[in-house]
Structure 1
Amino acid sequence: MRVGFDNEKYLRMQSKRIEDRINKFGDKLYLEFGGKLFDDYHASRVLPGFEPDSKLRMLMKLCDRVEIVIVINAADIEKNKIRSDLGISYDEDVQRLKKEFEDRGFYVGSVVMTHYAGQARAADFKERLEKRNVKVYLHYTIEGYPSNIPLIVSDEGFGKNEYIETARPLVVVTAPGPGSGKMATCLSQLYHDHKRGIKAGYAKYETFPIWNIPLKHPVNLAYEAATADLQDINMIDPFHLEAYGETTVNYNRDIEIFPVLNAIFEGIYKENPYKSPTDMGVNMAGNCIVDDEVCSQASYQEIIRRYYTAMNDVIRGKAKENDVYKIELLMKQAKITTDDRKVTVAAKERAEKLGVPTAAIELSDGMIITSKTTALLGASAALLLNALKFLGGVDHDIRLISPEAIEPIQELKTKYLGGKNPRLHTDEVLIALSISAINNKNAKKALEQLPKLKGCQVHTSVMLSEVDIKTFKKLGVDLTSEPIIKGKSN
């Protein structure tokens, strides 16, 4: 697949940009990290060549100077907020993040609990962390935040928050998700450090929107599609335009909050070192796009995928129809339709012709392979076998798994486990293929092709079960489905 982003250049430029920002402030820099520090698959999809762990690799260049602080909103703990992409609660994710960082050699200094008001679950979580020798600091809700500047910048505002003891010059502030209170945590620290005579600064690291490419660039439109549920809107930064006469891109929340930030900085330091929200950022991704057309086409595909995800989530009750309307508007701005996704067209055309659920996959060389539901296999399970046969050079008519091997699995599902769908799911067909590979050289050859599915595109004519969705995700396949629910027998 074609590359549109220079990842090595990005690692060099980004680490230098952060070092320069540390040096600008003197003793300490609080760096608010928006988005994902690792496993950033959105960035890798819209910027082909960007590695999902690029931000972590960049930080590793500064590892001996970095301290990580993880922020979580106590209200999110209390209502057991779940990360939809991982299916785990925010408090579980704090522990996961801590372990992930430490396994990579980073120092995690503490956990900060914001909006703390003695919530029972939050207090219990704090106790559990402290039993594991994790430092936990409490920050409180400030009445009138973020507008009541005199109260915020006082001993009754930020001053009431517990001061986070940090030991390194670069403090990376991250969180399980949006709304955790990362920015307020950084600003609270600036207030406390100033009172202690420590020269500290604040910067923000958001990969998207990319500030130095056009407002309606496909990469920036794809970011809006990805955050449709948050109602983020990309905008020209009016403060940057006024200060420098330069057009840059930011998003509504940072632009709306900037006058408040400006007042807070002036309340702490008597002046604001930044003239605009763009000034606060350190993102260098826009400088590392080496093939604009590749990134544009990849972004178009991401917008279409996000559209299908939103449509499916509405049916499942996980999203609102406004999310779909917003992405439809973005598709109009980008001048694209679902027909611009090749596998969508292939799967729908075959389904209309055959009258049964179908699926299609686009391989890395552009080859399209399709499948249909049969008595033995669901369309997605059949698609895997068809694709693996093609990649392994195995004739399409050769059976990799005999019906005699499939039938006992069907009997187990329906007779003993109470299932109504006798057809094999994707995970079941891969297990059957693995067993066949012991004595069947063609099955072995097909099984060995699995890594080649990573990054391939798949579309199905009906919505899939969670089992099939998770299998495709584990294989690294980009999956979309028509927002159509069929009976469990499909």
Structure 2
Amino acid sequence: MGAIGFDNQKYLTTQSEQIKKRIHQFGGKLYLEFGGKLFDDYHASRVLPGFEPDSKIRMLQQLKDDVEIVIAINAGDIEKNKMRGDLGITYDEDVLRLIDIFRDMGLYVGSVVLTRYSGQDAANAFLHRLEKLGIRCYRHYPIAGYPSDVAHIVSDEGLGKNDYIETSHSLIVVTAPGPGSGKMATCLSQLYHDHKRGVDAGYAKFETFPIWNLPLKHPVNLAYEAATADLDDVNMIDPFHLEAYGITTVNYNRDVEIFPVLNAIFEKIQGKSPYKSPTDMGVNMAGNCIVDDEVCRAASRMEILRRYYTAKTELVQGKGAEETVRKLELVMQQAGVTPEICPAVAAALDKAEATGAPAGAMVLPDGRIITGKTSGTLGAAAALLLNALKALGNIDDQFELISKQVLEPVCHLKTTYLDHRNPRLHTDEVLLTLAISALTNPLADLAKRQLPGLRDSEAHFSVIISEEDLKIFKRLGVRVSCEPKYETKRLYHR
């Protein structure tokens, strides 16, 4: 376990207290727009060491008697079969996944709302599917002039056309499978309908990044810019907060740009706006829970470097853009980031040069640097994984964890019967053979038991490794980057 920079328990306590205060501020009912990932916020856990990836959902569990969840999904995204890149599933399938996870955690899912609904066939099919599953569904429609035509938006022909979502709890968490799903518009629609019904209610926003009470160019906030380099998001000083209070805070451009319109909508709906700035709308307490600033700065710089290598790799793969790489180079310059901050980079490149073949290196949590080279039976990723397990188990290099009698038949099977060109084992295959060897080889069993110790290691490879290898390292908690080039000049890479 590496150094801790963030007090997770303090975060859970102070964050839930802040939300309770905001509910009370609005007379007992709050629509909370939840940005980012609820269950698996690995970005936050990487840049704030000590932050648990499921912290936000655990915080909601502390309030579960008050919580009702509304999931918003853009009907156009259903029609386009929009995918979650990290999970490889469509947004509509992710809605079902989210419902299952929320229910498993004892949280009440009240309904699903289809935003920007205009009778799309795929959206209708999804509505029918949800209704068959016993899930309440609502429709929200496109509004002409949204978000700038305030007079039309706040009218019976604007927000008034939308279905009113029946809710029964004091904290209505509005979440979604991804950005652009209409979470804010859903909250505004509910405020409009509640006001017409004489119900007191308010709106707040929960985004972890950028952290409002850290400096604009703090590495944690710069790491957020790196994470969103493919979007038009940039961090900026909140000018409204500075004017209202004389205090410098950080927000991001979209919230700052939309605030005057949002403020006018609040005034139109409720007579006056409860907020003087975009920062006022937030309920994020993460900045107050940093206990070691230097640890978080160092972790954030590493995250920026990984994002840079990922962008360069995606450019080679045809999935990225030059502009994204340029933005990341600027962020790196602002944060003082170079490849030299990660010892695994130089170690991997040196190993590749010495062996004349793809290689990898890993910095273990205790600081030791381990390398792995390509061989006739093992790819660089698989070799690095085995060498790291040996190091963690204090197993001498001379001892075999997996005998040739096991490795060679598996390699032969791949090329002879499974039509693979490459006989070398990937990380998933080497773990299976390690598990089999552990039945008769005590050293293999010892190595297998070291797998949890890999978490929070940093690995770098001299070439782009396979998707399967990346997935295995991710599951083991190893953070991976690659040089932006393939092992061969072939056009098709598996």
Structure-1-length-normalised TM-score: 0.99
1:419-439 CA-to-partner distances (Å, cap 9, x unmatched) read 100100110111111110000
Q: What secondary structure is seen at the aligned counterpart in 2 of 1:163?
A: coil
CA contact (8 A) 2:464 2:482 kept: yes
Amino acid at match of 1:273: P
Return the alpha-carbon distance in structure 2 between the equivalents of residues 336 and 475 of structure 1. 26
Structure 1 residue 27, shift from structure 2 partner: 3.2
1:57-104 CA-to-partner distances (Å, cap 9, x unmatched) read 111111100000011111111111111111111111111111001000
Amino acid at match of 1:472: F
CA contact (8 A) 2:304 2:337 kept: no
Structure 1 residue 477, shift from structure 2 partner: 0.8
Return the alpha-carbon distance in structure 2 between the equivalents of residues 32 and 397 of structure 1. 56
More deviation, 424-433/342-351: 342-351
> Counterpart in 1 of 2:482?
481
> Counterpart in 1 of 2:135?
134
Structure 1 residue 217, shift from structure 2 partner: 0.3
> Counterpart in 1 of 2:212?
211
Structure 1 residue 354, shift from structure 2 partner: 2.2
Return the alpha-carbon distance in structure 2 between the equivalents of residues 338 and 173 of structure 1. 40
Structure 1 residue 122, shift from structure 2 partner: 1.1
Amino acid at match of 2:442: K
Return the alpha-carbon distance in structure 2 between the equivalents of residues 367 and 4 of structure 1. 21
CA contact (8 A) 1:372 1:382 kept: yes
Amino acid at match of 2:229: A
Q: What secondary structure is seen at the aligned counterpart in 2 of 1:216?
A: coil
CA contact (8 A) 2:73 2:92 kept: yes
CA contact (8 A) 1:27 1:198 kept: no
Q: Is the aligned partner of 1:249 residue 2:250?
A: yes
Amino acid at match of 2:357: V
Aligned-pair identity (%)? 66
1:399-440 CA-to-partner distances (Å, cap 9, x unmatched) read 111112111111111111111001001101111111100000
Q: What secondary structure is seen at the aligned counterpart in 2 of 1:297?
A: helix
Q: Is the aligned partner of 1:441 residue 2:442?
A: yes
> Counterpart in 2 of 1:270?
271
Q: Is the aligned partner of 1:67 residue 2:68?
A: yes
Return the alpha-carbon distance in structure 2 between the equivalents of residues 355 and 341 of structure 1. 22
1:114-152 CA-to-partner distances (Å, cap 9, x unmatched) read 011111111111110110000111101111110111110
Structure 1 residue 309, shift from structure 2 partner: 1.1
> Counterpart in 2 of 1:465?
466
Structure 1 residue 353, shift from structure 2 partner: 2.5
Return the alpha-carbon distance in structure 1 between the equivalents of residues 107 and 318 of structure 2. 39
Pairing 1:141-290 to 2, within 5 Å after superposition: 141-290=142-291
Return the alpha-carbon distance in structure 2 between the equivalents of residues 319 and 38 of structure 1. 26
1:273-294 CA-to-partner distances (Å, cap 9, x unmatched) read 1000000000000001010000
Return the alpha-carbon distance in structure 1 between the equivalents of residues 307 and 368 of structure 2. 23
Return the alpha-carbon distance in structure 1 between the equivalents of residues 222 and 435 of structure 2. 42
Amino acid at match of 2:347: A
Pairing 1:262-411 to 2, within 5 Å after superposition: 262-411=263-412
Pairing 1:36-115 to 2, within 5 Å after superposition: 36-115=37-116
CA contact (8 A) 2:68 2:169 kept: yes
Aligned-residue Cα RMSD (Å) equals: 1.1
Amino acid at match of 1:296: R
> Counterpart in 1 of 2:417?
416
CA contact (8 A) 2:312 2:325 kept: yes
Return the alpha-carbon distance in structure 2 between the equivalents of residues 397 and 125 of structure 1. 58
Amino acid at match of 2:454: L
Structure-2-length-normalised TM-score: 0.98
Return the alpha-carbon distance in structure 1 between the equivalents of residues 103 and 315 of structure 2. 38
Q: What secondary structure is seen at the aligned counterpart in 1 of 2:230?
A: helix
For structure 2, list consecutive stretches of 5 or more residues without a partner in the other structure.
Answer: none
Return the alpha-carbon distance in structure 2 between the equivalents of residues 353 and 373 of structure 1. 12
Return the alpha-carbon distance in structure 1 between the equivalents of residues 46 and 475 of structure 2. 16
Over 6 Å off, 4+ runs: none
Return the alpha-carbon distance in structure 1 between the equivalents of residues 13 and 418 of structure 2. 55
Count, aligned residues: 490
Amino acid at match of 2:181: S
Q: What secondary structure is seen at the aligned counterpart in 2 of 1:154?
A: coil
CA contact (8 A) 1:357 1:372 kept: yes
For structure 1, list consecutive stretches of 5 or more residues without a partner in the other structure.
Answer: none
Q: Is the aligned partner of 1:14 residue 2:15?
A: yes
1:335-361 CA-to-partner distances (Å, cap 9, x unmatched) read 111221111111012212322100001
Q: What secondary structure is seen at the aligned counterpart in 2 of 1:229?
A: coil
Return the alpha-carbon distance in structure 2 between the equivalents of residues 384 and 181 of structure 1. 43
Structure 1 residue 44, shift from structure 2 partner: 0.6
Structure 1 residue 301, shift from structure 2 partner: 0.3
More deviation, 17-26/113-122: 113-122
Return the alpha-carbon distance in structure 1 between the equivalents of residues 44 and 3 of structure 2. 15
Amino acid at match of 1:15: S
Return the alpha-carbon distance in structure 1 between the equivalents of residues 339 and 197 of structure 2. 57
Return the alpha-carbon distance in structure 2 between the equivalents of residues 81 and 128 of structure 1. 18
Return the alpha-carbon distance in structure 1 between the equivalents of residues 270 and 427 of structure 2. 59
